[in-house]
Amino acid sequence: MINLRIDTRASDVAVSPSENGQSDVILMTRNLNFWYGNTLVLENIDCDVRPREVTAIIGPSGCGKSTFLRCFNRMNELIPTARIAGSVVFRNRDIYDRAVDPVEVRRQVGMVFQKPNPFPKSIYDNVAYGPRVNGYKGDMDEAVETSLKRAALWDEVKDDLKKSGLALSGGQQQRLCIARALAVQPDVLLMDEPCSALDPIATTRIEDLIRELREQLTIIIVTHNMQQAARISDRTAFFTVAESGAGTLVEFNDTQQLFTTPSDERTEAYITGRFG
């Protein structure tokens, strides 16, 4: 069913180490091409994501932002006709290597979705799900509490952890989903338009949370909202639809620079509201 072919290996891609000996790139794509069936959705994407930064991905609808995001935790292979070529390197290892278990990748690269999707279980069980399937042996109560605190939800729910996750408000549900993802202790958190279903106040809370989490992990966020990208991200990648119909990375730069002095006219047209 999973029809995922890898055409190129990452072994020939060098990763430049920074002064302190650590790699200054945590995730990297090279020549990434992606198809649904015979339709090319992403074309030759080269992109480096730095650790402990918020990287925003913006662009018009249908430019493959979400598909690109899902390449980082191999979520795309749940779609039967998906096919990928090129490499996605996480900590010097190609996550599409045959020897790599996608389950292992997803334990290190967590994800929060567009629509809050808590399981129809209690708040506690929602957060405990990840640790449980990952064979966590420690104190589960503590893990749940820590994760809920990190997601800034603990104070609101600590007295009714037995309540269904679905009984919470939309914004709380999304923070529950963030807590659930954090409970697995990922290094990277992918967020696919996490605020698009939320009201402005709930959005503000999530944005505050993203700023706090930035201290501890790497965040890649797809957003429709350019102001949001400008507010919360360190670097921004602008995608658009190329003439071939495939999504392509136009410009990737420091957020401030991208929004004030874009180097590509397509970026400028998009951020000034002339299209998209």
Partner 1 sequence: MNNWRSAPRAQPTADAAAHQPDGFELASSRRDSLRRKLVERSVHVVLFLCAVISILTTTGIVITLLGETIQFFGEVPIVDFLTGTRWTPLFASKSFGVLPLVNGTIVVALVAIVVAVPIGLLTAIFLSEFAPARLRSVVKPILEVLAGIPTVVYGYFALQFVTPILRGIFPQTQIFNVASAGIVMGFMILPMMASISEDALRAVPRDLREGAFALGATRFEVVSRVVVPGALSGILAAVILSISRAIGETMIVAIAAGLQPQMGFDLLRSMETMTAYIVQVSLGDTPQGGIEFRTIFAVGTLLFVMTLVMNLLSDLLVRRYREAYE
Contact indicator for 261, 240 with CB cutoff of 8 Å: no
* Binding flag, residue 166, partner 1 (CB under 8 A): yes
Q: Which of 52, 91, 107, 214 binds partner 1 (CB under 8 A)?
A: 107
- Residue 31 or 114: the one with the smaller Cβ distance to partner 1 is 114
> Which amino acid makes up residue 271?
I
Binding segment for partner 1 among 155-163, 180-188, 210-218, 224-232 (CB under 8 A)? 180-188
**Distance between CA atoms of 10 and 96, rounded to whole angstroms?**
9
Should residue 75 be labelled a site residue for partner 1 when binding is judged by CB under 8 A? yes
Choices 28-36, 56-64, 72-80, 212-220 (CB under 8 A): range interacting with partner 1: 72-80
Position among 57, 111, 178, 271 found at the interface with partner 1 (CB under 8 A): 111
Of 112, 108, 110, nearest to 177 by C-alpha is 112
Q: 120, 138, 200, 273: which one contacts partner 1 (CB under 8 A)?
A: 120
Beta strands (DSSP E) in the chain are 27-36, 39-49, 54-58, 82-90, 93-94, 109-112, 188-192, 218-222, 235-241, 247-254
Asked if 106 touches partner 1 (CB under 8 A), the answer is yes
**By the 8 A CB rule, do 118 and 177 touch?**
yes
Interaction between residue 194 and partner 1 (CB under 8 A): no
Q: Is residue 171 close enough to count as binding partner 1 by CB under 8 A?
A: no
**What residues pair up with 48 in beta bridges, in sequence order?**
28
The size of the interface with partner 1 (CB under 8 A), counted in residues, is 28
Contact between 36 and partner 1 per CB under 8 A:
no
Q: Contact with partner 1 (CB under 8 A): which of 42, 177, 202, 210?
A: 177
Q: Which is nearer to partner 1, 181 or 237 (CB)?
A: 181
DSSP line for 113-130: -SS----SSBHHHHHHHH
Tell which positions 124-143 bind partner 1, by CB under 8 A: 129-130, 132-134
Nearer to partner 1 (CB atom), residue 45 or residue 191: 191
Q: Does 78 bind partner 1 (CB under 8 A)?
A: yes
23 burial type by CB count under 10 A (0-12 exposed, 13-18 middle, 19+ buried): middle
218 binds partner 1 (CB under 8 A): no
What is the phi/psi pair of residue 150, to 5°?
-60, -30
Give me the least distance between CB of 19 and partner 1, in Å please: 33
Cβ at position 1, least distance to partner 1 in Å = 5
Contact flag: residue 196 with partner 1 (CB under 8 A):
no
What is the phi-psi region of residue 86: left when phi exceeds 0, alpha when psi lies from -120 to 50, beta otherwise? left
Q: Exposed, middle or buried, 156 (CB in 10 Å: 0-12/13-18/19+)?
A: middle
d(CA 67, CA 241): 13
Q: Footprint of partner 1 on this chain (CB under 8 A)?
A: 1, 73, 75, 78, 80, 103-104, 106-107, 110-111, 113, 115, 117-121, 129-130, 132-134, 166, 177, 180-181, 184
